[in-house]
Amino acid sequence: MTRRQFLPLLCFCVAAPAQEMTPEQRRLNLESFDKVWTTVRDQHWDPTLGGVDWPAVRDELRPKFEKAETLAECRAILRQMLDRLGQTHFSIVAGDVYQEIDPGSGDGSTGLDARVLDGKGVVTSVEEGSSGRAAGVRPGWQILKIGGRDLAPALERIAEAYKTSTMRELVLTRAVTSRLAGKIGSQAKVEFLDGGGKTVELEMERRRPRGVRASFGYLPARHVWLESRKLDGNIGLIAFNIFLDPANVMRGFEDAVKSFVGCDGILIDLRGNPGGLGAMSMGMAGWFIEDADRRLGTMYTRQTPLRFVVNPRLPWYGGPLAVLVDGDSASTSEIFAGGLKDLGRARIFGTRTAGAALPSVFERLPNGDGFQYAIANYISEGGKPLEGAGVIPDVEVRLSREALLEGRDPVIEAAVSWVRAQKKL
Amino acid sequence: MKRSKTALVAVLWMAGAAAAAPQETATAESILDKYVEVTGGKAAYAKVRNAVLAGRMEFVGKGIKGSLTSYKAGPRKSYEVVEIEGVGKIEQGTDGQVAWEKSALQGPRIKDGEERALVLRAAAPYPEWRQQFPKVELAGEDTVDGRACHKLVLTPAEGKPETRWFDKKTGLLVKSAQIIKNPMGEIPAEFVPGDYKPVDGLLLPHRVTQKAINMEILVVVESVKHNVDLPADRFDLPADVRALAEKRKKP
């Protein structure tokens, strides 16, 4: 099974209208096909493309592309072409994403986060002040149906298709969260199995997600948040949802680390964090490393290798550091966690990450769609690629529906226990 | 994202204050002196005590835009700030001794070695080429965008050689290439200056394109002002950079 297309920074898909194309649209689409093909040929860090016969791919797919009747078909063929590379961070972003009249109207949220645990869609957190909270949803509730459709068949198909892939958990999560999301102001009709085993059907308004809307180039905009708090026992916790909006997130991270300088330990929660600006990982790691010339890893472009060098910050924090990850932690999250693990600076808790860590850029195609492509391979400081492998936690801890229903987070609990054990040493 | 803004901005300030020496056969020295002559001459450059450049920049094809402001004063002081949409500020400079950088992405750091040398070398407005490069060589001829050019290799006291191409007909700099060294590695970069316009008797490039790895950055200069009243602390080290510098002094 070749690796599927992966959109590490998107958690939604926009359906393209199935309408026939004008001659001008056809021309622009064809230009887009050629641009994608040529860019991969000329910019992929491996001139051999891992052995893929790229001219043969063009010869096979361009005639089909020329005959495509709709934009959706065109996109599907382009995605097929990129899929032949068998790597993440090669994707096509529907141009609709950049052209919404009301930016952000498509990413309405009920405030529910979810994961697939033991084959079931389960609510893992409910945001304060959200429509989900107001409706009475609790962590641990199982999601049975969304919009009147059973979730189980889709989850089974995905689980089977991705059974050997490191991205399995990520794709399963997206299958649930993308169905929960929708146009702001619309209603999400969800059937749950609550903690008492009762079926509950609720309608929740999709509202503007928490955080500040931020964008970078042609990366589709996202709402960005960072939170920090002290846990019982003098342990700091920092969580943020994406490596974006550095002006605010880096400042918030700095403020949090400085406020935790007297803490017995710091936990950085990157569960569900799909990545973002790679350079932020170097800046954040700098708060925990005193020595110069330490690196998280190296990216290998076609032209030259580039080291992800940590920039030591003052005042640096030298106490126990735990990084929490799961199968939805991807890209820059993996670079950060994997690098700190390889440097022996952090202990990693949770489950294996997505294995989708290739530095990439976004461009616009002539037809208005976005095109993401990887520009480099990435090898963590320990000498191993993260792509296709992920970061293996030092301590594997899984969420369970039972724990969530009890209001517990076993991953945080394990990290806190470890920090307390370090204090006793 | 971590590209050397120093090298890109340095191309905008490139010149020299040496007088042209009449030569029948082109030499590296005569070509560089000619560049000074055709872009204003020694006297015009000597009048400049400080300079402020403002412009906009774009990562071509990536949808990333920003602004750039550069301050330079003799003998070796500079401060530059780039603001990139979605990233924030990237600042760098030198007070003549400490070369530094500070960004929203990675915080403050002090530059050493070749990085530091490049910042100091490029710090003054229109630094004289004889002060920058103890060794200059004519490396032959080349064609750049259809123009016949002299190709020169310039070697600084510290750092890697740069290659520059000067239009044989106009004497203007049309391209330069160098290896930009920073903690991330050594990045081959090309710069193409153009759109020369007069400012206070000097002919200055108002457009520079930088190509490095998969990125093309276009800088369009919107204004250049000379001998401006600058705040006394314009080139002072930011507090967090100063703290880093102090820490280094401690045994």
Which value does ipTM take for this structure? 0.87
A363 inside 8 A of chain B by CB: yes
Residue B18: pLDDT band with limits 50, 70, 90: very low
8 Å CB contact of A279 and B107: no
CA–CA distance, A267 with A375 (Å, rounded to integer): 31
CA–CA distance, A107 with A115 (Å, rounded to integer): 18
- The minimum CA-CA distance between A295 and chain B, rounded to whole Å, is 9
Distances in Å between the alpha carbon of A300 and those of A279, A308, A375, B1, B188? 15, 11, 8, 15, 14
**Per-residue pLDDT at B22 exceeds 50:** no
Cβ–Cβ under 8 Å, residues A136 and A111: no
Average pLDDT for B144-173: 96
- Please tell me the predicted confidence (pLDDT) of residue A105: 53
A413 Cβ contact partners less than 8 Å away, ≥ 6 residues apart: none
A196 Cβ contact partners less than 8 Å away, ≥ 6 residues apart: none
CA–CA distance, A313 with B107 (Å, rounded to integer): 7
- The minimum CA-CA distance between B29 and chain A, rounded to whole Å, is 32
Average pLDDT for B103-112: 93
Q: What is the largest CA-CA distance in chain A?
A: 73
User: Which residues in chain B are closer than 8 Å to A215, comparing Cβ atoms?
Assistant: 86
8 Å CB contact of B187 and A304: yes
CA–CA distance, B88 with A149 (Å, rounded to integer): 44
User: What residues are paired with A297 via a beta bridge?
Assistant: A308, A380
- Please tell me the predicted confidence (pLDDT) of residue A171: 92
- Please tell me the predicted confidence (pLDDT) of residue A1: 29
8 Å CB contact of B109 and A247: no
User: Which residues in chain A are closer than 8 Å to B187, comparing Cβ atoms?
Assistant: 303-304, 306
- Please tell me the predicted confidence (pLDDT) of residue A9: 27
Q: Which residues of A, range 160-189, sit inside 8 Å of B by Cβ?
A: none
Rg, C-alpha atoms of chain A: 22
Average pLDDT for B199-215: 94
Rg, C-alpha atoms of chain B: 18
Residue B6: pLDDT band with limits 50, 70, 90: low
Q: What is the pLDDT of residues B183-202, one digit of tens each?
A: 999 999 999 999 999 999 99
DSSP string for residues in A379-398? EETTS-B-TTT-PPPSEE--
8 Å CB contact of B59 and A217: yes
- Please tell me the predicted confidence (pLDDT) of residue A5: 33
User: Which residues in chain A are closer than 8 Å to B105, comparing Cβ atoms?
Assistant: 246, 250, 277, 279-280, 282-283
8 Å CB contact of A217 and B63: yes
**Per-residue pLDDT at B5 exceeds 70:** no
Instruction: Specify the residue for token string 């194309």.
Output: A21
Tokens of A301: 């472009």
Nearest chain B residue to A294 by CA distance is B183
B233 Cβ contact partners less than 8 Å away, ≥ 6 residues apart: none
Tokens of B38: 């055709």
DSSP3 helix / strand / coil % (chain A, rounded to 5) = 30, 25, 40
CA–CA distance, B16 with B9 (Å, rounded to integer): 15
Nearest in space to B93 (alpha carbons), one of B114, B107, B72, B63: B72
**Per-residue pLDDT at B164 exceeds 50:** yes
8 Å CB contact of B214 and A361: yes
Nearest chain A residue to B243 by CA distance is A314
CA–CA distance, B7 with B190 (Å, rounded to integer): 10
User: What residues are paired with A267 via a beta bridge?
Assistant: A237, A322
Nearest chain B residue to A370 by CA distance is B62
Nearest chain A residue to B88 by CA distance is A247
DSSP string for residues in A307-357? EEE----SSPP-S-EEEEE-TT--THHHHHHHHHHHTT--EEEES------
Q: A16 by DSSP, 3-state: which?
A: coil
Nearest in space to A233 (alpha carbons), one of A424, A420, A421, A422: A420
Nearest chain A residue to B247 by CA distance is A314
Residue B124: pLDDT band with limits 50, 70, 90: confident
Cβ–Cβ under 8 Å, residues B96 and B75: yes
Cβ–Cβ under 8 Å, residues B226 and B47: yes
HEC letters along chain B: CCCCHHHHHHHHCCCCCCCCCCCCCCCHHHHHHHHHHHCCCHHHHHCCCEEEEEEEEEECCCCEEEEEEEEEECCCEEEEEEEECCCEEEEEEECCCCEEEEECCCEEEEECHHHHHHHHHCCCCCCCHHHHCCEEEEEEEEEECCEEEEEEEEECCCCCCEEEEEECCCCCEEEEEEEEEECCEEEEEEEEEEEEEEECCEEEEEEEEEEECCEEEEEEEEEEEECCCCCCCCCCCCHHHHHHHHHHHCC
Residue with the larger pLDDT of the pair B136 and A359? B136
8 Å CB contact of B185 and A306: yes
- The minimum CA-CA distance between B6 and chain A, rounded to whole Å, is 18
CA–CA distance, B132 with B75 (Å, rounded to integer): 12
- Please tell me the predicted confidence (pLDDT) of residue A424: 75
Upper half-sphere CA count for residue A149 (Cβ side, 13 Å): 10
Look up residue B150 and give its amino acid.
Answer: H
**Per-residue pLDDT at B9 exceeds 70:** no
Instruction: Specify the residue for token string 């600084």.
Output: B156
Q: A287 by DSSP, 3-state: which?
A: helix
- Please tell me the predicted confidence (pLDDT) of residue B214: 78
Cβ–Cβ under 8 Å, residues A288 and A320: no
Q: What is the pLDDT of residues B50-100, one digit of tens each?
A: 999 999 999 999 999 999 999 999 889 999 999 999 999 999 999 999 999
8 Å CB contact of B104 and A246: yes
Distances in Å between the alpha carbon of A374 and those of A40, A85, A327, B36, B89? 9, 11, 21, 43, 25
According to DSSP H, which parts of A126-167 are helical?
Answer: 131-135, 152-161
Mean pLDDT taken over chain B: 91
CA–CA distance, A360 with A89 (Å, rounded to integer): 6
CA–CA distance, B103 with B203 (Å, rounded to integer): 32
Nearest chain B residue to A310 by CA distance is B106
Minimal Cβ distance to A217: which of B2, B86, B109: B86
Minimal Cβ distance to A246: which of B62, B105, B185: B105
8 Å CB contact of B105 and A283: yes
8 Å CB contact of B86 and A361: no
- Please tell me the predicted confidence (pLDDT) of residue B216: 95
Kindly report the length of chain B: 251
User: Which of the residues in chain A have pLDDT under 70?
Assistant: 1-19, 97-106, 425
- The minimum CA-CA distance between A315 and chain B, rounded to whole Å, is 10
- Please tell me the predicted confidence (pLDDT) of residue A233: 80
8 Å CB contact of A304 and B106: no
- Please tell me the predicted confidence (pLDDT) of residue A84: 96
In total, the C-beta contacts within 8 angstroms joining chain A to chain B are 89
- The minimum CA-CA distance between A98 and chain B, rounded to whole Å, is 11
CA–CA distance, A197 with A195 (Å, rounded to integer): 6
Upper half-sphere CA count for residue A240 (Cβ side, 13 Å): 27
Kindly report the length of chain A: 425
